[in-house]
Amino acid sequence: MVAPEDWQEQARRQNVAAESMKQPMPPSIGACDATASSFSWVDEGRVTPVRDQGSCGSCWAFGTHGAFEGSYAVINQDLVDTAEQQTLDCSGAGSCGGGWWAFKYLVDTGSTDETDYPYTAQDGMCQTNVQSLYTAAAWGYVDPNVEIPSVDALKGALCAYGPIAVAVAATLAFQAYTSGVFNENSSATIDHAVTLVGWDDSMQAWRIKNS
């Protein structure tokens, strides 16, 4: 995950543009309540299965698609497995060496099914003979004015839009995670994209989908 130096300025411009593109979201499936002590889109059946990005640094594509697929599931009540490899090969947002969010590509071009453009965990030539079946309408940041949005803002976004793409610092301890609640204070720079799918206040924990 490689953040542009001016990502916050880009974020502010993006949110201004998104205001004119936004479409009304349906009532949250399962009545997601941002004031509840816990909630998970996994429990509501609105999160696609965990995928393995392999040795390719394509987490930015998986984080992008995780949020896209989650939003699609909330709106359409249907799980679709879209093609991260297409975004990796064609979006220009990054490579196996890292990248940034590719939502603009999903708005402009869209994505096909995973089965029609399988993931290979390596950079490839863009295949133009596939049909993009799913497109995004708009996208934006939870709060472009801060590096880390507040807990309440993140919960509100989860309920309003479904799973959201976030970035973390994948330290050695993070990479060694096997189960339970991961808890580490780190000043490391963010370098890994994941998808935020819920929370549990009793454990002071977020629930994430990690590729």
| Residue 23 within a domain | no
pLDDT at 29: 60
Exactly one of 32, 56, 65, 210 is catalytic; name it: 210
**Catalytic pick from 56, 59, 90, 159?**
59
129 in any annotated domain: yes
Does the residue 141 lie in any domain?
Answer: yes
98: which 2 tokens?
Answer: 């890292």
Q: How many domains does the chain have?
A: 1
Q: Beta-carbon neighbour count of residue 82 at 10 Å? A: 25
Looking up residue 158, the CATH number of its domain turns out to be: 3.90.70.10
d(CA 106, CA 103): 5
Would you place residue 154 in the very low, low, confident or very high pLDDT band (cuts 50, 70, 90)?
A: very high
Distance of CA 188 to the CA centre of its chain: 21
Any domain includes 146: yes
Which of these, 71, 81, 92, lies nearest to 22 by C-alpha position?
Answer: 71
Tokens of 184: 């580490």
In a domain, 1, yes or no: no
Whether residue 61 is predicted with pLDDT greater than 80 in this model: the reply is yes
Active-site residue, 90 included? no
Residue 166 host element (H or E): strand 164-168
What DSSP line would sit under 91-151, residue for residue?
SSSEETTEE---HHHHHHT-B-BGGGS---SS--PPP-SS---B-------S-TTSSS--H
By the 8 A CB rule, do 167 and 193 touch?
A: yes
Domain that holds residue 49: 7-18+37-209
Per annotation, catalytic residue among 32, 65, 159, 192: 192
Is residue 167 situated within a structural domain? yes
126 carries an active-site annotation? no
Q: How many CB atoms lie within 10 A of CB 14?
A: 18
SS3 43: coil
Q: Is 15 a known active-site residue?
A: no
Residue 29 lies in a domain: no
Report yes or no: 199 and 43 within 8 Å, Cβ to Cβ. no
- Per-residue pLDDT tens over the stretch 81-124: 999 999 999 999 999 999 999 999 999 999 999 999 999 999 99
Q: Which pLDDT score is estimated for 30?
A: 64
In a domain, 204, yes or no: yes
Query: What's the predicted TM-score (pTM) here?
Result: 0.91
3-state secondary structure of 178: coil
Q: Partners of 99 in the beta sheet? A: 94
